[in-house]
Amino acid sequence: MRKQAWAVEVKELTIRFGDFTAVDNISFAVKPGEIFGFLGANGAGKTTTIRTLCGLLVPTSGSARVAGLDFKSGVQALKSKVGYMSQRFTLYNDLTISENMAFAASLRKLKPGVLQSRTRELFKFVEFDYPVKTLVKNLPGGIKQQLSLAASLLHNPEIVFLDEPTAGVSPVIRNKFWALIRKLARAGKTMFVTTHYLQEAEECNRIALMREGRIIALDTPQRLKTQAFPEPLIEINPEVGGSRQWVEKLKLDPRIGCIQPYGRRYHVLIQNQAGWKKVARTMPKSLKTRPIQPSLEDVFIRLVEGGRT
């Protein structure tokens, strides 16, 4: 098999700020054209990793190759091959849409003709149809995100880094945004997305789970689930009240692995199939049980809890 050229290849990357280790010895690789997700809580090191890969920070140790370039060949070349959309809104509110696009283009030395055709193409692509003389501050939040995305795609980058692109937008816009991300990936761009929404992570081809600067798991969403939950998962749905004593009792039962509350329901991890059947028979009829597929949330909780013990 031919050795694959990775879009991003990170080896033993560590980034420290003084005494604080933001990213702790992580290694991973991203395939070209892949939607690669970085999942983790705030402060897990997602943004720091992305900013490093975009050439905004220098790693303390370790190496990274992005679009075939490493840091030794200079970050300027790198910056022309990647697009970066920060989690903060980085366009100028007091400039118009076209002024913002022209400014971003001029820093990347795009010719005016290229800018015009690219802008038209991109606006069509992201379904952006506001008059270009509108001041950016007058645009709604979700529309601003679309414009940010368009601005980060102006120079036709091979790899696009999106840092929490859907933070704070409505679910409708979020779905629309993910449709765009898939469309870009189909067009051959490598999409590197961070998020802390677990539903969003399901959309990625592969995801890396980050916690406290480390990658604690990395795989496709499906395989993460089967790896984290080789045993079946049961949902208990207490239809009437008074289930607390039962849940407390289950928690102490050695045949039950783990029990997690989910709203009014509980997810129960079964250690021993035969044992569970015995337990289930003793439970009152009002506690409905059904086997379920684990969600990424279950995986996340499992892995994070597992990492703590």
Partner 1 sequence: MSAGFRFSRAWSIARKEVRHVRRDPFTLATALGLPILLVVFFGYAIDFNVKDIHMIAADRDNTRASREWLKNFTSSRFFKLEPADPGQDPQSALDTEQAKGVIIIEPGFGNDLGAGRPAEVQILLDGADNSTTGIISGYLIGIQQAAWKKISSGPRVQPLSLQTRFLFNQEQNSRWFVVSGLVVVVIGVLSILLTALTVAREWETGSMELLLSTPVRPLEIIFGKLAPYLGLVLVSVVMVYLVARIQFGLPFMGNHLLFLAGILLFLCLCLAQGLLISVITRQQQLAMQLSFISGLLPTLLLSGFIFPIESMPPFFQYLTYILAPRWFMVISRGLFLKGVGLLELAQPLFMLLLLNLIMMGLALKRFKKDLEP
Please report, as ranges, the residues that interact with partner 1 according to CB under 8 A. Answer: 52, 54-58, 74-76, 79-80, 82-84, 86, 88-95, 99, 102-104, 106-109, 151-152
Nearer to partner 1, 100 or 243 (CB): 100
Q: State the nearest-atom distance from the C-beta of 72 to partner 1, in Å.
A: 12
Q: State the nearest-atom distance from the C-beta of 103 to partner 1, in Å.
A: 5
Nearer to partner 1, 126 or 250 (CB): 126
Starting at the edge strand found earlier in the chain, the sheet holding 82-85 runs 82-85, 159-163, 190-195, 35-40, 206-211, 214-219
Nearer to partner 1, 95 or 216 (CB): 95
Q: State the nearest-atom distance from the C-beta of 100 to partner 1, in Å.
A: 9
Nearer to partner 1, 135 or 292 (CB): 135
Q: State the nearest-atom distance from the C-beta of 89 to partner 1, in Å.
A: 6
Nearer to partner 1, 8 or 299 (CB): 8
Q: State the nearest-atom distance from the C-beta of 163 to partner 1, in Å.
A: 9
Nearer to partner 1, 43 or 103 (CB): 103
Structure tokens that stand for 153 in this block: 């795609």
Angle between helix axes 97-107 and 141-153 (nearest 10 degrees) is 30
Q: State the nearest-atom distance from the C-beta of 80 to partner 1, in Å.
A: 6
